[in-house]
Chain A
Amino acid sequence: MSFMPNCQDVTKHSSDYLDRSLSRWKRLGMWFHMMMCVDCRRYVSQLQLTIATLKKHPKANPPPVSNEQVDNVVKHVCQNLKPDD
């Protein structure tokens, strides 16, 4: 990728751009491109919205663990550890 990325480059590096894991130079190039390109600006903001949506997705939280489940796991572990130890 030269200093100024093209639109296809922007789609390739958009996660790294949003997560701030590009070098400063590449980051600046992406920023300049988006200043001038409304399509890429929209593409990247839609990616950002996708990430925010995943964060709020009902399945984003691990399932709650009941006391019964805890007891079952502990029982299972104790039964399975004994013969070997």
Chain B
Amino acid sequence: MPAAIPATRRPELSKPPLPADAELIPKLLAGDETAYAQVVRAYHGLMIHLARAIVGEAFADEVAQEAWVAVLRALPRFERRSSLKTWILRIVSNTAKSRLRHESRSVSLDDTMSEQPIVDPARFKSNAHWASPPAMWHADTPDALLASSQLRSCIDAALRALPPMQRAVVSLRDMQGMDMETICKVLEVSESNGRVLLHRARSRIQQAIEEHETR
């Protein structure tokens, strides 16, 4: 019978707590398979989530597996300037980005630099005030919006249509609740570019909801 775990450190159901990086890293370096399994159990889902956002459903599992090999190869050189989790996710991001470049040479990873406006300029008067302002939406809570399977597919389609880096930022920030500083480290973008990517992504999803909710 294991000793009782203090309430503050009690793990989620069926998920044993992951030891601190300082305890975990030496075990991983020593090739301890139990430690491998612990770290894979803790981070693999999130790695697939991130890989999916960048490279799409079809290659996400492969990218995550490939990233694990890269992680354990590079681990002896890990300088611990960030947490192990951030560092692992950065490797996933890089693995996914190179996979994406390989799979579709022409695809542009992000469009931070594009001058495309957030809202169609035709919706503003010459003094930059609204000419066609936003209309009321039928639903006014997330649950009410998500109750419509049609709207859910509109949101999914809008997410799929985002440039990969926008999709990655919005997935990590708004869907995963990760902080922007970590996200920018993981995706290797500057804080200001990260914020631009996030706002563009959110605006496109908002637009998709608007089209559905005001028709």
Contacts and interface: CB of A to CB of B under 8 A. Distances in A.
Given A50-B206, A63-B45, A39 B128 contact: no
A8 interface: yes
B119 to A, nearest CB: 5
Contacts of A74: 33, 36-37, 40
Contacts of A8: 119, 121, 124, 128-129
A73 B137 contact: no
Interface residues of B, number: 54
A32 B119 CA distance: 21
B73 interface: yes
Given A21-B195, A42-B136, A63-B49, A11 B142 contact: no
Interface in A31-65: 37, 39-40, 42-43, 46-47, 49-65
Interface string B153-189: 0011001000000000010001111001000000000
A49 B44 CA distance: 30
A46 B174 contact: no
Nearest to A16: B195
Contact of A46 (B69, B137, B180): B137
A68 to B, nearest CB: 12
Contacts of B99: none
A12 interface: yes
Interface string A6-19: 11110110111001
Contacts of B203: 11, 15, 47
A54 to B, nearest CB: 4
B202 A62 contact: no
B41 A65 contact: yes
**A interface, over-half SS:** helix
A12 B49 CA distance: 28
Given A60-B175, A81-B69, A15 B127 contact: no
A53 B119 contact: no
A82 to B, nearest CB: 10
Interface in B70-122: 72-73, 118-119, 121
Pick from B46, B72, B156, B206 the residue with the most CB of A within 10 Å: B206
Interface of B: 31, 33, 36-37, 40-41, 44-46, 48-49, 64-65, 68-69, 72-73, 118-119, 121, 124, 127-130, 133-134, 136-137, 140-143, 145-146, 152, 155-156, 159, 170, 174-177, 180, 195, 198-199, 202-203, 205-206, 209-210
8 contacts: A9-B128, A42-B136, A43-B134, A46-B210, A47-B202, A53-B142, A76-B68, A77-B36
Given A8-B124, A54-B174, A74-B36, 10 more contacts: A12-B118, A16-B199, A46-B210, A47-B202, A50-B206, A53-B209, A58-B146, A73-B44, A77-B36, A81-B69
